């Protein structure tokens, strides 16, 4: 094991060890907590001497931590506040959209609350760039993802941010930034596509499984279907050489030929990757982990593997953990630093751009201490491919675990293992 930078935090009578390199946060038992503090003393003393005058269990725990490679001058006690280490930011430029899609987890849901939809101003974006994005970009390379609503409604802001950050990168003031965007594809004019191509954007276009389903769900504000317009826009993206892919959400009930339809979708929208989203509509929660849903996801992964297309779905973290033989110890990612912080239209930095955003708004420089595993997770057969409870869910609901997430992972594993050779990385 490589030496790991780590920090200790005391909170509510508990001791947590935070490993930024792998985004793991581990609650220590009393023995390991005391040993960790002794290890701190050993590190600060700058000697290789074993701390003396400790009992057997503490000495064994100290030796275990030492042998695991923990070595850091950054080990310190704080007030239960972790420094965020985002690998990127998802900027929600507006909650408005020129579509009125049925079951949209963002715009449509917000409209139903009766609250006004927010739109980011130029002044807010400039503040976000100066106070959040640029300081982080001086420390590391970042991903910047423009989101909505429909982000193309605020294209001038996309252009402003891209040009400013490119200029800073060319001057050597910041690390490289990669740009991406999710759009409904309705207003992708040639000049804008040329801009995205020039600046290396990865453009994701939202579609539905079949043209008929698309025209039923993805309607414009005049209740017209939009499939033909989206196909045309996607073709232009590919003709310009812009990196692009599609995102599809398999809402129930699926058509009888769902996997055939998925294969046809790959042909209609050629690309190097595809994203299969999880439905967020409250009426479809029972769909998560249902046999039909899991069979579709497994089949989609098989089809993509045969076609040489990368796929991202709710199964991806499970497959990644299994194929790399790397336990998933955090709900954020399997390995590496994978936190994407969101930035809401009012400039607030949040752990999620939608769903739990209002319940989990945090300061950009001091996100709250992530929740740790609860007792149900410690004995769960899916723990090491699930990563434990989602902190946003815990904060928003006050519950320890998300039963829907638990059900999904527990039902997915037996089906996956039957054909493990198909999905395992070569």
Nearest to 175 by CA among 93, 247, 87: 87
Unique residue bearing structure tokens 């900027």: 91
Q: Which of the residue ranges 164-178, 262-276, 362-376 would you say has the lowest mean pLDDT? A: 362-376
**In angstroms, rounded to a whole number, what is the distance separating the alpha carbons of residues 298 and 422?**
10
Q: What is the mean pLDDT of residues 316-324?
A: 79
**Residue that wins the pLDDT comparison between 324 and 363:** 324
According to CATH, the superfamily of the domain at 88-362 is Aldolase class I (3.20.20.70)
Q: Which range has the worst mean pLDDT, 171-175, 188-192, 323-327, 400-404?
A: 323-327
pLDDT band at 29 (very low <50, low <70, confident <90, very high): confident
Give the rounded percent of residues in the chain with a pLDDT score beyond 70: 69
> Which of residues 195 and 2 earns the better pLDDT score?
195
DSSP string over 335-402: SS---EEEE-TTS-EES-SSSSTGGGEE-TT-PBPPP---HHHHT-TTHHHH-S--HHHHHHH--SS-
Bigger pLDDT: 399 vs 239? 239
Q: Where are the domains of the chain?
A: 7-67, 88-362
Number of Cβ within a 10 Å radius of residue 49: 8
Give the confidence band of 273 by pLDDT, cuts at 50, 70, 90: very high
Which residues neighbour 371 within 8 Å (Cβ) at sequence distance 6 or greater?
389, 391, 394, 395
Mind listing the pLDDT tens digit for each residue in 104-146?
766 665 666 677 888 999 999 999 999 889 988 998 899 999 9
Q: What is the pLDDT of residue 336?
A: 38
Q: Does residue 11 carry a pLDDT above 80?
A: no
As a whole number, mean pLDDT of residues 243-267 equals 94
Cα 138-19-130 angle, rounded to 5 deg: 20
Angle at 371 between CA 293 and CA 180, to 5 degrees: 60
pLDDT at 98 over 60: yes
Is residue 376 within 8 A of residue 62, CB to CB? The reply is: no
Q: Could you tell me which residue, 23 or 298, shows the higher pLDDT?
A: 298
Residues 6 or more apart whose CB falls under 8 angstroms from that of 307 comprise: 263, 266
């Amino acid at each position: 094991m490589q030496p790991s930078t780590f920090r200790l935090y005391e909170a509510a009578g508990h001791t947590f060890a935070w490993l930024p390199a792998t985004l793991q946060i581990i609650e220590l038992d009393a023995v390991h907590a005391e040993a960790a503090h002794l290890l701190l003393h050993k590190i600060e003393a700058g000697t290789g001497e074993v701390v003396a005058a400790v009992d057997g269990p503490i000495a064994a725990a100290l030796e275990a931590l030492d042998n695991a490679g923990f070595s850091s001058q950054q080990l310190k006690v704080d007030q239960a506040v972790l420094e965020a280490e985002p690998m990127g930011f998802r900027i929600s430029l507006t909650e408005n959209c020129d579509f009125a899609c049925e079951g949209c987890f963002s715009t449509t849901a917000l409209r139903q609350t009766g609250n006004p939809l927010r739109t980011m101003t130029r002044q807010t974006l400039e503040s976000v760039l100066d106070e959040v994005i640029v300081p982080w970009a001086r420390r590391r390379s970042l991903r910047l993802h423009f989101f909505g609503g429909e982000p193309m409604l605020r294209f001038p802001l996309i252009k402003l941010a891209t040009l400013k950050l490119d200029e800073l990168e060319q001057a050597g003031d910041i690390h490289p930034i990669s740009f991406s965007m999710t759009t409904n594809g309705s207003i992708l004019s040639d000049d804008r596509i040329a801009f995205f191509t020039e600046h290396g954007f990865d453009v994701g276009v939202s579609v539905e499984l079949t043209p008929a389903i698309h025209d039923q769900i993805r309607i414009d504000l005049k209740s017209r279907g939009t499939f033909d317009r989206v196909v045309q826009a996607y073709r232009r993206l590919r003709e310009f050489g812009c990196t692009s892919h599609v995102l599809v959400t398999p809402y129930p009930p699926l058509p009888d030929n769902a996997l055939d339809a998925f294969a046809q979708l790959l042909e209609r929208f050629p690309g190097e990757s595809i994203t299969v989203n999880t439905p967020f509509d409250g009426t479809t929660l029972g769909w998560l982990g249902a046999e039909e849903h899991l069979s579709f996801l497994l089949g989609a992964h098989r089809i993509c593997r045969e076609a040489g297309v990368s796929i991202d779905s709710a199964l991806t973290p499970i497959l990644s953990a299994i194929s790399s033989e790397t336990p998933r110890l955090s709900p954020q990612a399997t390995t590496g630093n994978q936190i994407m912080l969101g930035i809401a239209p009012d400039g607030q930095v949040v752990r999620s751009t939608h769903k739990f955003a209002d319940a989990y708004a945090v300061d950009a420089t001091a996100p709250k201490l992530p929740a740790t595993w609860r007792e149900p997770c410690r004995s769960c057969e899916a723990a090491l491919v699930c990563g434990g409870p989602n902190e946003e869910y815990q904060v928003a609901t006050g519950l320890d675990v998300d039963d829907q997430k638990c059900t999904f992972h527990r039902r997915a594993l037996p089906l996956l293992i039957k054909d493990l050779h198909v999905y395992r990385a070569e």
